[in-house]
Structures are given as structure tokens and as C-alpha cells.
Amino acid sequence: MFAEYFAADFLVRKVRATRSPDLIEYLVFLYKLRNIFGETFRFIDGLASSSSRLHAAIMNGDISYLQQRQVTREDMETLDIFERTPLHLAASYADKRMLEILPIDDELIKEDILGSTPFMYACNVTLNYNNVNIEFAVRLDAFCARCNRESTKWAESALAREYGINAKEDFIVTLMSIGVKNDLPGIVKVFVRYFSPKRLTRIFRSLHQREFVQSILRLSWFFVNRRWLWDLDSLGSSHRDATIAYAKSMEVCKLLHPYCDVGIFDSDFTGDTMLHRSAEKGYIEAVEFHLQYSSAYVRNYFGETPLHSAARTGQADVVRKLLPLNTLALSCTYRTGRRCQKTSSFLLFAEDS
């Protein structure tokens, strides 16, 4: 503990005294390893911002200070030794309630001496751990909910500068997956509108009509199962499923819809549509959304409709939703008699209830 404190104190004093570019570059490198040197960076941030009461309150999670004091625009422009605004620290330490109290505008695009903005701090801390902590993802979601086009336009160039073009796209797809799977519409809105990769547009440079490109994807499972063709109409995940297959809420589905082909088949050779997947997982809002674009009678390669997928996994609410639309689907033949008996019993139970 003492070693970390003295190391942090040395770095802060050196940066304040010399503003050495080499030392600042070294500090930028260390910040990328903050998951390894977490305690050291807490000391660094604390020492660098000790002269500001607002900075300290954010670092210590003192929300009562923010509630008792009317935080003004002038307060948000206060800088610490690293030329960071209170929002820079909020990106790493504040909870969602704090972010809702703080006035946020131009501070989103203000750089500190490390060349980072609050938006980049929020992105980096979210992905700075092997297992993404939902607390950090919620913080990033709160940031994204306050972002305007100007701040995200700046952040796009910053992502490319820090990660490189190819790594930037993987970084964005990862954050998109976090937003969709955890039902965080703020993240989804920002990353899908401003940062979504456009590889498909580059491949089919002469094809400007989305309908024509989608018809190719629908007609050929070969194209559907190739990872490099997923980026425009279906932002891919590491499991090669369309990202919209993981959407749980109506809001997230609506955000993804302009970028995803909701009728596309999954790439696991089952022939499931997005409606099959949502029904199987019990995402009732997503089911209601997909019903606008997909037939309730659509069958996968095994002859199953979305109703059967929901019944097989015990999703009673979804079964009740789909049952009136699938009276003819009860005659579907299953691969095994035991599975057919189990599903039929569940359907009858849902119908009675």
C-alpha cells in the first residue's frame, strides 16, 4: 500500500513540475493497464485532484455533497493537475445517480493532458477488465445517453487513433454486444448510429440499395454464415449470431432495426429466425417487435415455429402471446416423441391458463 502511494505521489509531482512529454506518454501507457495497477491509479487520481472539493467528492462517491450543492457550469470547468474536469473522474468513479446530477455538455469532448476525454475514460474502464462489470457498463450507458453528435464525432476519431481502424471496429462490436445483452439503450444508440462498421458497404460498393443486398443474404445461407458479411445489416457477435438476436426490449430492437435484417437466419444451421430466438429466450418485448416483420408460422430446418421454441424452453408468457396466432402449428411433427409430448402438454397448459 505504501509503495503504491509513494509511486503515485512521485508521478503526480513530476508531471506537475515538468510536464514532460515522455512522462505523460508513459502515464498514458500505464492507464491502459489500470486493471493491474488499480490501487496505484486510485492514489494517482486522488492526489492529482486533491485541490478540488468536487473532484474529491466524485472520487469518494459522496453523492450527498452533490445533492446539497447546486453544481454549476463553472464547477464543471474546474481542472485538476492533469487538466481533467470533474466529468473525467466521474467516468471512472461515479455511479449512475451522480452522472444524472452532473450537468454535462462540452465537457464530453474536452481533452486532458493525456489526450483523453471523459467519453474515452468511460469506454476504457468498461473494457479494462477480462470480465466486463455491469456497473461499468451502466456508467458508460449513462454517458452515452448524454452524448450529442459532436461529442461522438470526436470520439470516433479518438477510437481510431488509439486502437487502429481494425481494432476500433472490434472494440465497437464488443461494446455493442455489451449494450444489447445488458439492455443498455444509451450504448446501443451511440454506437450503432455513429460507430457501426460499414464493411458490407465497401464490399458491395456498387450496390446502393439495401433491399438488393439483403435479398442476397436471405437467398444464400453461404453468405449468411460468413462473418465478414455481417457488419452492416447484422452487427456480428463473437458467436456469429446477429446482435439483434440478443435484444430484450422493444427500445433496443427499434434502435437496431435500421441496421439489421430482422428476418435473417441464425448461423448455427438450425434455420432459426430472430423471432425463434426471442421466443426461445422469453424476451416478450422482442417477440412483439419481431412479429411486425416475421410470420408467426415461419419454421426452422426442423419444422419448428417460434411457438414451439417458446414451449420447449418453458416461456409461458411468450406461448400465451403466440398461441392465438399459431392454432395450426400444433400439428407440427417433432424429431422425438418425448419432446413432442412434453411440448404439447405445455401448450395445452398455456391455453387453459
Report how far residue 332's alpha carbon sits from residue 297's, in angstroms, rounded to the nearest whole number.
11
Chain-centroid distance of CA 293 in Å reads 24
The single-letter DSSP state of residue 332 is P
Q: For 146-176, how does the pLDDT look when each residue is reduced to its tens digit (9 = 90+)?
A: 777 666 666 666 665 555 555 555 666 677 7
Report how far residue 190's alpha carbon sits from residue 148's, in angstroms, rounded to the nearest whole number.
9
Burial of 217 (0-12, 13-18, 19+ CB in 10 A): buried
**193-218: average pLDDT:** 44
Coil, strand or helix at 249: coil
Place 289 in a pLDDT band, splitting at 50, 70 and 90.
very high
Core vs surface per residue 265-286: b (16+ CB within 10 A) or e: bbbeeebbbbbbbbbbbbbbbb
Angle (nearest 5°) at CA 131 between 182 and 88:
80
Place 224 in a pLDDT band, splitting at 50, 70 and 90.
very low
Residue 273 has pLDDT above 50, yes or no: yes
Report how far residue 327's alpha carbon sits from residue 311's, in angstroms, rounded to the nearest whole number.
14
Q: Is the pTM of this model over 0.75?
A: no
**13-42: average pLDDT:** 81
Q: Which of 45-59, 146-160, 178-192 has the lowest mean pLDDT?
A: 146-160
> For all residues of the chain together, what is the average pLDDT?
73
First to last CA, the chain: 61
Give the residue from 44, 21, 25 showing the smallest Cα distance to 34.
44
* Residues 6+ positions from 215 with CB-CB distance below 8 Å: none
Give the residue from 31, 48, 40, 236 showing the smallest Cα distance to 120.
31
DSSP letters, 152-220, are HHHHHHHHHHHH-HHHHHHHHHHHHHHHHHTT-HHHHHHIIIII---HHHHHTTT---HHHHHHHHHH-
Instruction: Give the domains, in start order, of the chain with CATH numbers.
Output: 49-198 (1.25.40.20), 208-352 (1.25.40.20)
**132-152: average pLDDT:** 76
Residue 166 C-alpha cell reads as 481494425
**106-117: average pLDDT:** 80
332: left (phi over 0), alpha (psi -120 to 50) or beta: beta
What pLDDT does 166 receive?
Answer: 53
